[in-house]
Structure 1
Amino acid sequence: MNLSNYTSEFKKNLYIAYPVMLGQLGHVLVGLADNIMVGKLGAAPLASVSLANGLMFVFLSLGIGFTFAITPLIAEADGEKNIEKGRTIFQHGLFLSIILGFIICGLLLLSKPLMYYIQQPVEVVELAIPYFEVIAYSMIPLMIFQGFKQFADGLSLTKYAMQATIIANIINVFFNYVLIYGKFGFPAYGVVGSAYGTLISRFFMVIFMIYIVSKRKEFQPYLEKFSFNHIKKSVVKRIYNLGYPTALQMWFEVSLFASGVFLAGALGTNAQAANQIALNLASMTFMIAIGLGVTATVRVGNQKGLNNYKELRRIAISIFLLMMIIDLFFALGFIAFKDILPTYYVQNENVIETAAILIVIAGFFQLSDGIQAVVLGALRGLQDVKIPMGITFIAYWIIGFPICYYLALHTELKASGIWIGLLISLTASAIMLYIRFNLLTKKLIVEKNGTT
């Protein structure tokens, strides 16, 4: 294998990926800011944010996963240089994103009582409920933002969503400071103050993207004849057929991690707080994987539009190789700084000791987590979503969850058992998804050569 065939693509891969990485990292930094600033109030407030966000992400993952269908369809149209097709996908995708925002908000508000039935500490639930109520309403602007973001990503114009999230982070931190601690004459809302900060910052993101799309010339051809008055069932069906398996893929993974939050809560407040620290750190590095996953979707989708499957495979493998190199670096970093990283969140010695162990395990699953994310992105670019949906269900819920549950509640491993289960499930997912990609692309190359 000539490595230069793949390493030569690293620069272009990173050019597309880095704004997505920074933008997605911006989303996680909103959570990081909430965790650090709320963590200063104590372990119970930190655990309450973890519980509320864990339940919230179970629903949000379905919506965000659904909007991921917009990107490969736009990328394919862009590869074909078909503006009319791209315009139609954008209009219908944005329409569905708005509808999803209201649906998710409603589902979250209806799901509040669930927190009382999943064996969580009472003091944590009582703090989580008012935070959760405010966060639910932020789903509406967040999903509208996702519609714009996935459209821009499909055109390889990834920097604008990055800019929106970076500025939104600054806004979030400012309002957190003001509303959590009661500064500049405002009352101290505590945990709920961080929810208000998030809500305000997400409305800003939507306003920013509307402004950019309406003003930048790159988007102008897609705004001609823009109207929600001519929604076509056939286009909605196409987005739905690609969107729901993608949504379920994400939901299977996010709900597994959310179940880890609930299992940790059943072990006590300290275990919950330690789990949240490790999860927040792993989430930040995972944003790098999401950036390269989007790159895989866009570049594979472009090559699919050109019907060039040999080049498609070469580009995809270059992204997989780049992901492995980056994740190896993160794995070593997690292991080396396991005792230092938790101290940025809390000063509780028991929480720090438990978190350090979890961070080591999180270091080991960096490679598996990154590879499964970018291979899923490549398969999404091929618009192959139903079989990967089945693979992720098997990896996370047939293999992963039973291991997490047994090791956490029926062995002395406790919180560490949850993360060992996550490691095993992510590894299984990465292996099975790569086998799927390898077989599918080889088949497409053979079929293409047979018709030329």
Structure 2
Amino acid sequence: MFHAESWGAKVKLFMHILWPIMVTQVGLYAMNLADTIMSGRVSSEDLVGVSMGSGIWMPIITGINGILLAVTPIVSQLMGSGQREGIARAISQALYVSVLIALVVAGIGAVAFLPLLEYMGLTPKVEYIAHQYLLALLIGIIPLFASNVLRYFFDAQGFTRISMYITLLAVPFNVLLNYCLIFGKLGFPALGGIGAGYATAVTYWLVLLVSIATTFKVEAMRSYRLFREWAVPSWKAWKELFVIGIPIGLSIFFEVGIFSVVTLMVGSMFATEVAAGHQIALSFSSLIFMIPLSISMALTIVVGYSVGGERLQHARQYARLGVGGGVGFMALCAVVLYYVRVPIAELYTQEPEVAALAAQFLIFAIFYQISDAAQASLLGVLRGYKDVRLPFVIAFVSYWIIGIPAGYLLSAFTELRAFGFWVGIIIGLTCAAAGFFLRLLKVQRGLKGGAQGLAEAK
């Protein structure tokens, strides 16, 4: 990492950090995509069962993992200010926290998953598949969280290619395991959608082992002596991580949660074919969203590094570069998606009725892409400033007070039916984007007065 002075140098540095993150995010999502597509090839029940399981798993896991995302601004600001000696201690503390959180989530999930699925009123077969899929995923929850701490540690220093190479190793491994466990190939039992859960859990362990090996093998990482020297657990260090991370985690939970709640409501209110079509559209549009999400993560790194080095004008320039680029790219994707929505839907299912419904849902997905890109990139900038508390409130109000109720009302009382939920998502994301933009303007104005200005803005 270095402080780029010209616009050209900033674009080059930003792209150098961004593209490996993008490959990593697309690769990570490809594992979930493979679960959905390959399960759908077994039956609609397997597709919906895995979708319902994912609908519960994703907001919980991504939201709680958002707490660990605090590692990125912490490390990037330490790097920007030249305080490298504090990085190893911060990572050790984050690893302690990751294991603790994983154990708590696993314990709660083992008890709560089945009652939650029973409350949803699913068919017996779909309920069974969803429950067993979730229990299988719990096997990999500790390595999932711990490996993400190491990923953020690599990324925050600008070594985003490390995470990319690890992901490029993990994705084909996961697909091969899916093939074996879902369809019963190479001597393995045919578990259907449940097999996807076991395949993903084993892949999480592979990612952790390779990430740990990287800290020993890569010269730039060896100097930190991770896994050889451990800091004593410190509540003060945990508190710093929680103060930054909990609002980030809750913001992510509220964002991911709106999609998961909609998935669960569609699954319980409408026919299996409608739920399957909805999930196909959501699955593919979420894949596209990995790109603005990657831009958001890259913005957190470069903005945090600039703020740590007291290069406040640089931070503002990176914000304009990232937000404008993210929105522009998603506008282009929306145009392309309109023309290829039918072939995309047919990739997921062999049932014509489900494919036709999925193509209709994808039309609505086109419209929310731009708002989603804007809110994600703006939130990434705010995290670079370590401004996380008010954005959490904005996210909660936009998604849960405005978006979900609007979607339910449109679905229940208009001819839009299940499509009304997607209109609600669009409304919620647009409100969030507007709120984050106004918040960023206030933070940047406050910073004109220096570090004290940031504190006043908060």
Distance 1:364 1:376 in 2: 20
2:353 to 350, 353, 369: 350
5 Å-filtered alignment, 1:100-249, equals 100-112=101-113, 113-223=115-225, 227-228=229-230, 230-249=232-251
Distance 1:71 1:6 in 2: 24
TM-superposition CA deviations, 1:96-141 (whole Å, max 9, x none): 1122222222222122220110233333112211111101222111
8 Å contact kept, 1:131–1:195 = yes
5 Å-filtered alignment, 1:249-398, equals 249-266=251-268, 267-398=270-401
Map of 2:22 onto structure 1:
21
Shift of 1:9: 3.4
* Runs of 5+ unmatched residues, structure 1: none
Distance 1:7 1:307 in 2: 20
More deviation, 411-420/219-228: 219-228
2:407 to 400, 404, 408: 404
Map of 2:456 onto structure 1:
none
Map of 1:422 onto structure 2:
425
8 Å contact kept, 1:68–1:246 = yes
Shift of 1:159: 1.2
* Runs of 5+ unmatched residues, structure 2: 1-5, 454-458
3-state SS of paired residue (1:9)? helix
Distance 1:175 1:449 in 2: 53
Specify whether residues 225 and 114 from structure 1 end up closer, same or farther in structure 2 by C-alpha distance, changes over 3 A only: closer
**Pairs aligned (count):** 447
Distance 1:354 1:278 in 2: 9
3-state SS of paired residue (1:60)? helix
3-state SS of paired residue (2:224)? helix
The alignment status of 1:441 with 2:441, answered yes or no, reads: no
Shift of 1:221: 2.5
Shift of 1:238: 0.7
Specify whether residues 59 and 448 from structure 1 end up closer, same or farther in structure 2 by C-alpha distance, changes over 3 A only: closer
Distance 1:409 1:14 in 2: 44
5 Å-filtered alignment, 1:47-66, equals 47-66=48-67
Letter matched to residue 285 of structure 2:
A
Pairwise CA RMSD of aligned residues?
Answer: 1.9
Letter matched to residue 393 of structure 1:
F
Distance 2:208 2:451 in 1: 42
Distance 2:76 2:228 in 1: 19
Distance 2:378 2:231 in 1: 37
Shift of 1:181: 1.2
Letter matched to residue 190 of structure 2:
A
Specify whether residues 110 and 6 from structure 1 end up closer, same or farther in structure 2 by C-alpha distance, changes over 3 A only: farther
Distance 1:13 1:332 in 2: 26
Shift of 1:253: 0.8
More deviation, 110-119/68-77: 110-119
3-state SS of paired residue (2:233)? coil
Map of 2:72 onto structure 1:
71
Letter matched to residue 301 of structure 1:
G
Letter matched to residue 400 of structure 1:
G
Shift of 1:408: 2.1
Specify whether residues 94 and 224 from structure 1 end up closer, same or farther in structure 2 by C-alpha distance, changes over 3 A only: closer
Distance 2:108 2:17 in 1: 34
3-state SS of paired residue (2:415)? coil
Shift of 1:448: 6.8
